[in-house]
Amino acid sequence: MKAILRSFQLPQNNSGNNVSVELYRGADKSNADHIDRDWSAWFDQAPGAQDAHWRWDEKLFRAEDDPLLFDVFVLEAENTTQAVMLAMKGGLKCTSIHPDHPRLPLVYIDLLATAPWNRQAKSDPVRFKGCGQLMIATAVSLSMSEGFKGRVGLHSLTGAESFYRRRIGMTEFPPDPTYGGLRYFELSETQAAAFLSNQPSTKGGRS
């Protein structure tokens, strides 16, 4: 079931005005419709995004049918979806390989995407800055609530490697031959604490 986690204000880069933004746990048909309608139109105008083919309608509803294994988070503003994340709380992917805490459980980010107008490669200036970081912070919070102390792992598309390496500060591992050659990244407990401490406070927020 879709439920609001936080409501706050973010500056819209195009206008400089503060805009109401809502972070939800769970998703519904409107989010799938936003991606199919609004995101696809941008991808058509600026092709080349590695995730443009992802079928979020199928992925979101599959996750909603298995809430013990998956959690979905969406960020909404201006009557559309600004970012979406599918996180796993159990299964083979949810095991740390970080040398600080090998074999301990973690939250695995199965899929994460921001709206194309929030990506520098697709829009200059971006409409809302920091949506990806906000979703990573949400995954870290989920990890903590599950008792995993902030541990988070994911496989990155090649175009997003710099984001996870430099912006988030994750540890990177060699390309994974069992996962299409994508590079694996992991946020350790220490890195998770450092990442959260560097996040700016969000004005006007409420839990």
Q: DSSP of 56-79, one letter per residue?
A: HHHHHHHHHT-TTTEEEEEEEETT
Token reading at 65: 């049918």
CATH at residue 45: 3.40.630.30
**Look-up: residue for tokens 């092709």?**
47
67-74 own/partner pairs: CB under 8 Å, 24+ apart: 70/110, 71/25, 71/142, 72/25, 72/26, 72/27, 73/5, 73/23, 73/24, 73/25, 73/135, 73/138, 73/139, 74/2, 74/23, 74/24, 74/26, 74/27, 74/31
Q: What does the pLDDT read at residue 72?
A: 96
Q: What does the pLDDT read at residue 207?
A: 37
Q: Is residue 202 part of a domain?
A: no
**Look-up: residue for tokens 């990506």?**
119
Q: Is residue 17 part of a domain?
A: yes
Q: 122: pLDDT confidence band, cut at 50, 70 and 90?
A: low
Q: Is residue 94 part of a domain?
A: yes
| Chain centre distance of CA 39 | 16
Q: 121: pLDDT confidence band, cut at 50, 70 and 90?
A: low
| First-last CA distance in the chain | 17
Q: Is the pLDDT of residue 202 over 80?
A: no
Mean pLDDT of all residues in 53-64: 84
Q: Is the pLDDT of residue 124 over 80?
A: no
Number of domains composing the chain: 1
- Comparing 118 with 16, the larger pLDDT belongs to 118
Q: What does the pLDDT read at residue 164?
A: 97
Q: 123: pLDDT confidence band, cut at 50, 70 and 90?
A: low
Q: What does the pLDDT read at residue 104?
A: 98
Residue 100 gets the label, from left (phi > 0), alpha (psi -120 to 50) or beta, of alpha
Measured between alpha carbons, how far is 181 from 59 in angstroms, rounded to an integer?
Answer: 22
Structural domain containing residue 13: 3-197
Q: Is residue 51 part of a domain?
A: yes
Asked if residues 90 and 76 have their Cβ atoms less than 8 Å apart, the reply is: no
Q: Is residue 205 part of a domain?
A: no
Token reading at 43: 């991808």
Runs of H (alpha helix) within the chain: 29-34, 40-45, 56-64, 131-145, 161-162, 189-197
Which residues pair with residue 19 across a beta bridge? 10
Q: Is the pLDDT of residue 205 over 50?
A: no
Mean pLDDT of all residues in 28-44: 90
Mean pLDDT of all residues in 75-91: 96
Measured between alpha carbons, how far is 165 from 185 in angstroms, rounded to an integer?
Answer: 8
Q: Is residue 204 part of a domain?
A: no
Q: What does the pLDDT read at residue 65?
A: 83
Q: Is residue 193 part of a domain?
A: yes
Measured between alpha carbons, how far is 97 from 116 in angstroms, rounded to an integer?
Answer: 32
Q: Is residue 84 part of a domain?
A: yes
Which residues pair with residue 22 across a beta bridge? 7, 76
